[in-house]
Amino acid sequence: MVVLAASGGHHLITYFQAIVIGLLQGVTELFPISSLGHAVILPKLFGWNLNQKEPYYLAFLVATHLATAIVLFLFFLREWVRILKGLGRSLRDRQIAPDDADARLAWLLVVGTIPAGILGLLFEHQLRSLFANPTAAAVFLMVNGLILFAAERLRRRAPGAPERAQALARSDESATGPEAEQRLAALGYREAVAVGSAQAAALFPGISRSGVTMGGSLFVGLTHEDAARYAFLLATPIIAAAALLKLPDLFGPDGNGVRGPALAGALCAGLAAWASVKFLMRYFETNRLTPFAWYCLLAGFGALLVFVL
């Protein structure tokens, strides 16, 4: 995937490789199949020389992640406008009105984002350095499949889950905001923290951020469609913050030689992300996580056989 450019000693990513990586990022970041795991496994399978620890490659990835976050924000723009207005009202009034579902959802997203952000800042470098190799990623991809299977199997057996699901479905009709936001706002803060903290598992290459978030959401009684919506809303600030934190690297020395490919990769990531979130929101209206669980289990096992044998 990466070639060395003798001139100036800079590492370059070709435009073809950038397009492939961008499309891969846009799809696997939102599908519950782990973008980081695929970014580690597929280059090895293709015989590409890729080292994710190199600063120039991390600078390139900033662009693709930022594009994904922007697409998520735009896709749910109407929801985010209501959520941000609700947050503003709660700050102005110094309270959350009982019938203000948008304000409550805003604070649920805040408390769900904080623990994942802290854990990411503390342990991202160590975990990626330790496990960012194809064999480990293949193993964790299989683990991700098992997590998705478990989420489907346990979603009706969790303590109080059926009652919570019925309560969410009967969300207060007097509350402001569309029904989806009302159902999500019926979550408890402890549940929001638990589901949000689960995002930190995505620091292990092969574990999907959207997958573990959706699995946790199913466990606390959300439907598949609402779990997907909540996962995408919760992921938006995390992905955006991580990208913006490293954005100066792209425009600094580490970005020399990759800015053009980074733009191409970002455009492809954005297009793929838009198509992915549009498909998934329709898919989860009537379908489950099981096909993705089978994919992760079989793909991880197949990659592991290739790497070990």
Could you read off the pLDDT of 169-201 as tens digits, one per residue? 555 444 444 777 788 888 888 888 888 888 888
CA 94 distance to own-chain centroid: 31
pTM, full prediction: 0.85
Whole-number pLDDT of residue 146: 96
Write the CB contacts of 301 (distance below 8 Å, at least 6 apart in sequence). Answer: 138, 142
Lowest mean pLDDT among 88-92, 100-104, 240-244, 299-303: 240-244
Residue 245 has pLDDT above 50, yes or no: yes
Q: Which two tokens stand for residue 145?
A: 């499949």
Could you read off the pLDDT of 247-263 as tens digits, one per residue? 888 888 878 878 899 99
CA 76 distance to own-chain centroid: 15
Could you read off the pLDDT of 45-79 as tens digits, one per residue? 888 876 666 777 777 888 898 999 999 999 999 99
Q: How many angstroms separate the CA atoms of 307 and 309, rounded?
A: 6
Write the CB contacts of 149 (distance below 8 Å, at least 6 apart in sequence). Answer: 290, 293, 297
Residue 298 has pLDDT above 80, yes or no: yes
Residue 7 has pLDDT above 80, yes or no: no
Fill in the amino acid letter for 148: L
CA dihedral 258, 141, 233, 226 (to 10 degrees): 150
Q: Which has more confidence, 139 or 205?
A: 139
Confidence class for position 10, pLDDT limits 50, 70, 90: very low
Whole-number pLDDT of residue 247: 84
Lowest mean pLDDT among 82-96, 187-201, 259-273: 187-201
**Measured CA angle at 175 (ends 89, 219), to 5 deg:** 100
Could you read off the pLDDT of 113-127 as tens digits, one per residue? 888 778 777 776 666
Q: Which two tokens stand for residue 288?
A: 């489950």
